[in-house]
Structure 1
Amino acid sequence: MKKIAAGLAVLLLAVTIFQPTDGYAKKTSVTEIDKQLKQLKQEVQAAKAQQEKAASRNQEAQHYKNKTNLNLQYVLEQVDLVKGKMTDISSKIAKTEDSLNVTATELDEAEARVASREKLLESRVRLMYTDGAVSYLDVLLSSTSFSDFLDRADSLKMIVDQDQDLLVQHKQDKQTVVVKKQQLEGQYAQAKQLYTDLESQRSMLKEKEDEKQELIAYYDKEIQESDEVSEEQNAKLVELASNRSALEQQKDKIKAEEAARKAAAVKAAAAKAEAARKAKANSSSSGSSGFSSAYEGGDGPFLLPVGSVRISSGYGKRTHPVTGEVGKMHTGVDFAVSQGTNIHAADAGTVIVAEWWSGYGYCVIIDHGGGMWTLYGHIREGGIKVKVGDHVDRGQTIAESGATGRVTGPHLHFEVRIDGQPVNPMPYL
């Protein structure tokens, strides 16, 4: 079921990713594609994070599985050891039972001997009782001769020794058999108890063995699931990479189209440049731009950064309004606007300067690609609304006009630069 679910997840992911691909072809904005690429980057990071998490989970499960396998091996060795001990104890129990059987036979024989001796002693006592109380001294004194006395003394000694031996043997036989039986019974009971203890230990080890087997099965499941997650994330990363490639190709296509459009605009602007310079030559020596009313713009690719306003100074050589230097090249156009007027990006691009910049005062420069920049100078202090690295859209507010830097009053100084070199901005507006 999990493999089916993973397959469905990959299929849904592929549908989700590839459905917008046709839509991307319809997009004409690099900004939109950059947003999609940013989203893809986040998805890639999330997929990699899931993959790393799955790999960590897999590694951890494998570690504990290996550890559990070692524990299981130890438990199995202990089980084998206990089984061996139980076999030895069983053998000892069997031998002890055989010894008990032998001892029982010996005890029966000893008891038979004891019974026989008891009968002999009883018969002797009975004989003495029947003959009367005859002392050993009476027997000796009734001797008829010295030799008879010696014979009687020897006979009496033999009787006494025999009786003494019978008593000693009777006591020893009985005591030996009883002690041996007690010892064997103790050994038998001890062996039985040891066997019972080993059986209990074996049962406990079997429980541990079952527990380890369950743990290994659990870790195997963890490893399998983490492998499935990793495979799913691999499929997702492949799809994301394919989608990113498609987006990058579309972005390159759009940039190429924009570069071609701007190149065409530059070519058209070149044709107008001579007319602009002639118009500039007809302006007054004071630097008058020749524009007495609001400039409405031409058919160039860039927006007017401050809308339709009067141009106070055009592009070209002039007498510098601050230094009074004659023939000083003015590298842009000045739009006569009041302090705090919103300044808009002439086109989409990336901010490469957003700070104080020499005589321009506070300044913003935007890179539009293809080696084309736009510059916005004399921004009021605190009026910069963007920072280096920001991507701005066409018409987006980037700053507020001011009078910072080398100026005589508030206005916007606007430049167009190609490969870093300023060109007449008029044909581009």
Structure 2
Amino acid sequence: MIKNANIKIQKLNEEIKTLKERIKQREELLKERARSYQEIGTINYLDVLIGSQSFSDFLDRAGAVTTIITADQDLIQQHMDDKKVLEDKENEAKDLLVKLENYGESQKKLKSELDIQKKNKDDIMQSLKDKEEDLENEKLSLEEQNSLLDSQKEAIEKAIKIESEKKTQVATKKENEAKSTSSSIKANTNVSKKTKGVWTTPAQGRLTSTLGERWNKFHAGIDIANSADVPIVAAADGVVSRSYYSTSYGNVVFISHSINGQVYTTVYAHMDSRVVKTGESVSKGQQVGIMGNTGQSFGQHLHFELHKGQWNASKSNAVNPLDYISI
């Protein structure tokens, strides 16, 4: 459309130029004739006819007068026609220019709207991409959860077996005393005083965060911070159910414990490094890693969780570690 309009405007401008030149030439001719009339006076065509010497001369003079008058009328008519055509073509050219300007404005507006639509589309695509990445991360998290649950089963079975073997080795000769001691411990598994000696502090440092709501989320453990490269130790005897690098926990170790028939799980997260492997048996106080700042962490610290039962994604089994250990 724009190309055709520009071609038409160019053609109109050429025609307008030609008309202006023709009109200018004709105006010069008419001015010249007007000057001639002024110099010789007004022509009386009747005197010309009466002054004829014969009928033949009269006819000749009549024909000449008619020719002159007709020529003058034709010249003036052509001049008027050309001016009218010039005006029409100039108006047509102006109308086309206005249409082109309006079209240009509409194109700018359309382009602006398309740019907005493109931006909205890009935003939607980015949002979908972010959601896809979130889903992918969630998928990986689910894979981690399933792997943890599977490995916990094996570790718990092994921890229970180890505890059973230890009980057999330290069983007293008197069955009644052994039953009495076992009953006393089982009845008070939730009382820290009765479990004295079973648990130990996993790291030396200052307590910076406790179990509960934090930043509108449930903080399922405690944080122990220290600027030194302090060792992280197992809080109790148990079996390493998982030792790996997690996107959220960083370098993390999960340990399954069986204490007086009750299963516990401890978590040691954000460590700089790990020194135990999955499936390995550990003793209370044995080093499992070095305090660090890996995964989704802000500052060097140990994130320590204690679960009465298995660890799960909702962390519904989380209990307050401060009820079992002292900082």
User: TM above 0.5, one fold?
Assistant: no
More strand by share: 2
Which of the pair has more CA radius of gyration?
A: 1
TM-score, reference length from structure 1: 0.34
Using structure 2 for the length normalisation, give the TM-score: 0.44
Q: Which has the higher helix share?
A: 1
Tell me which of the two structures has the higher relative contact order, counting C-alpha pairs closer than 8 angstroms and 6 or more residues apart: 1
